[in-house]
Amino acid sequence: MHFSSAGSGRFDYLIVGGGFAGCVLAERLASQLGRRVLIVDRRDHIGGNAYDGLNEAGVMVHRYGPHIFHTNSSAVFEYLSQFTEWRPYEHRVLAEVDGQRLPMPINLTTLNRLFGLTLDSAGAAEFLAARAATSARIESARDVVVSQVGEELYRKFFEGYTRKQWGRDASELDRSVTSRVPTRTDADDRYFQDKFQFMPLAGYTRMFERMIDHPDITFMPSTDYADVRHTIAHDHLVYSGPVDEYFDFCYGRLPYRSLRFEHATLEQERFQEVAVVNYPSPEVPFTRITEYKQLTGQQHPCTSITREFPTAHGDPYYPIPAPENAALYRRYESLAEKTPGVTFTGRLGTYRYYNMDQVVAQSLKLFSRLAEQASVAA
């Protein structure tokens, strides 16, 4: 791994973006096929949005908001385990609703505490069934929730949060958005039920550093692809930045949602009950507060937190899952397919609301494809 200029000579692969998409692919190409790879990133660090590090107080924080690793894929988990030890961590979230902090996803405890009831699981299922809307078609993110828990719980837990997060109503978003959040009638208060739920013990950045620690991988931070595209000789380009930007927005801009992060360090050991508290109320301008020590297990006399304020402007963090955006993306996708020597990947390159493990899986699959092509060509 080198952190200087690209030096002389030709690279087999130029990879744009040093996040999960770029680093996993670089690692595979170098370690399995002996390819010379250059990764460029316009940011001054490796890791993309999963970047973490110690802040000025010495608390480990995630610069771009909380990243919690979970997957059902043993292939993904085993792959990453080559580059990190793990800390078992099961994520729990509370949502502040009607002056109470209640388990989110909605579960048996949420219902009993919100409505002052003493339901058991069967009672909770009946309670929800009596409220659930019975519309035949479940098309939008709103329909998904209303069909499970009804209008009132939708309004309290989802309506305001979704409007803030996406800048539009849940009825204008794909069903996949709220399908990420289940409804439970038992008292399981974990946010995820995946088979593997861990945090990288020494952090994400350390994991990325180990991944690209290979003599055939060069990393150039603070380097925009636009500035080097004509000067760095390479055979293949892999692009994990925004696909519309690559094509100079020729069909118009793909909408992305951004966030403004307000980071703070407090001179107290603990700030809140769990790592993440959600604020669905439209009266509160942010969506959630994260307390990092509860994710990392770090012991420190201070604690660091982040409030997330969704915005339309800024770094492109979230592709917005909606039919008209998918249609626009398809136009870019077909242009991408007709562009020889360039492969698009990652959350921004393929305009997909992917979690980290899905991006790792996507890169491993892409590597298999490239390896197959290489063996056919040989």
Residue ranges binding ligand UDP (CB under 6 A): 95, 104, 157-158, 161-162, 165, 177-178, 180-181, 278, 280
**Rounded-to-integer distance, Cα 19 and Cα 204, Å:** 10
- Give min distance, CB of 181 to ligand UDP, in A: 5
Instruction: Choose the one of ligand FAD, ligand UDP, none that binds residue 322, judging by a C-beta under 5 to 8 angstroms depending on kind.
Output: none
Q: Which stretch binds ligand FAD (CB under 6 A): 16-24, 140-148, 209-217, 298-306?
A: 16-24
Instruction: Choose the one of ligand FAD, ligand UDP, none that binds residue 303, judging by a C-beta under 5 to 8 angstroms depending on kind.
Output: none
What's 63's DSSP letter? T
What phi and psi values does residue 303 have, to the nearest 5 degrees?
A: -135, 150
Q: Is 241 in the site for ligand FAD (CB under 6 A)?
A: yes
> Is the CB of 95 or the CB of 212 nearer to ligand UDP?
95
> Kind and range of the H or E element at 349?
helix 346-349
Q: Is 240 in the site for ligand FAD (CB under 6 A)?
A: yes
Instruction: Choose the one of ligand FAD, ligand UDP, none that binds residue 344, judging by a C-beta under 5 to 8 angstroms depending on kind.
Output: none
Alpha carbon of 336 to those of 142, 211, 237, 321, 343: distances in Å? Answer: 32, 28, 12, 20, 8
Secondary structure (3-state) at 156: helix
Beta-strand pair 11-16/234-239: parallel
- Give min distance, CB of 287 to ligand UDP, in A: 8
Q: Is 317 in the site for ligand FAD (CB under 6 A)?
A: yes
**Rounded-to-integer distance, Cα 1 and Cα 136, Å:** 56
Q: Is 199 in the site for ligand FAD (CB under 6 A)?
A: no
H-type alpha helices, the chain: 20-33, 74-81, 108-115, 121-131, 141-153, 160-166, 175-179, 204-211, 225-228, 243-246, 293-296, 323-337, 346-349, 356-377
Q: Is 259 in the site for ligand FAD (CB under 6 A)?
A: yes
Burial of 62 (0-12, 13-18, 19+ CB in 10 A): buried
The residue ranges of DSSP E strands in 241-338, in sequence order, are 256-266, 276-278, 288-291, 303-311, 318-319
CB 270 within 8 A of CB 254: no
Q: Which of 304, 256, 38, 278 is nearest to 156 (CA)?
A: 278
What phi and psi values does residue 247 have, to the nearest 5 degrees?
A: -95, 25
**Rounded-to-integer distance, Cα 13 and Cα 34, Å:** 11
Token readout for 184 is 């439970």
- Give min distance, CB of 16 to ligand UDP, in A: 23
Q: Identify the residue among 26, 348, 361, 370 touching ligand FAD (CB under 6 A).
A: 348
Q: Identify the residue among 11, 13, 14, 20 touching ligand FAD (CB under 6 A).
A: 20
- Among all chains, which residue has been given the structure tokens 């329909």? 143
Instruction: Choose the one of ligand FAD, ligand UDP, none that binds residue 142, judging by a C-beta under 5 to 8 angstroms depending on kind.
Output: none
H-type alpha helices, 236-316: 243-246, 293-296
> Is the CB of 16 or the CB of 173 nearer to ligand FAD?
16
Q: Which stretch binds ligand FAD (CB under 6 A): 46-54, 80-88, 101-109, 166-174?
A: 46-54
Site string for ligand FAD, 56-95 (x = CB under 6 A): --------xxxxx---------------------------
Q: Identify the residue among 6, 50, 111, 232 touching ligand FAD (CB under 6 A).
A: 50
Instruction: Choose the one of ligand FAD, ligand UDP, none that binds residue 197, judging by a C-beta under 5 to 8 angstroms depending on kind.
Output: none
- Give min distance, CB of 207 to ligand UDP, in A: 20
- Per CB under 6 A, residues contacting ligand FAD are 16-22, 40-43, 48-50, 64-68, 224-226, 240-241, 259, 317, 346-348, 354-357, 359
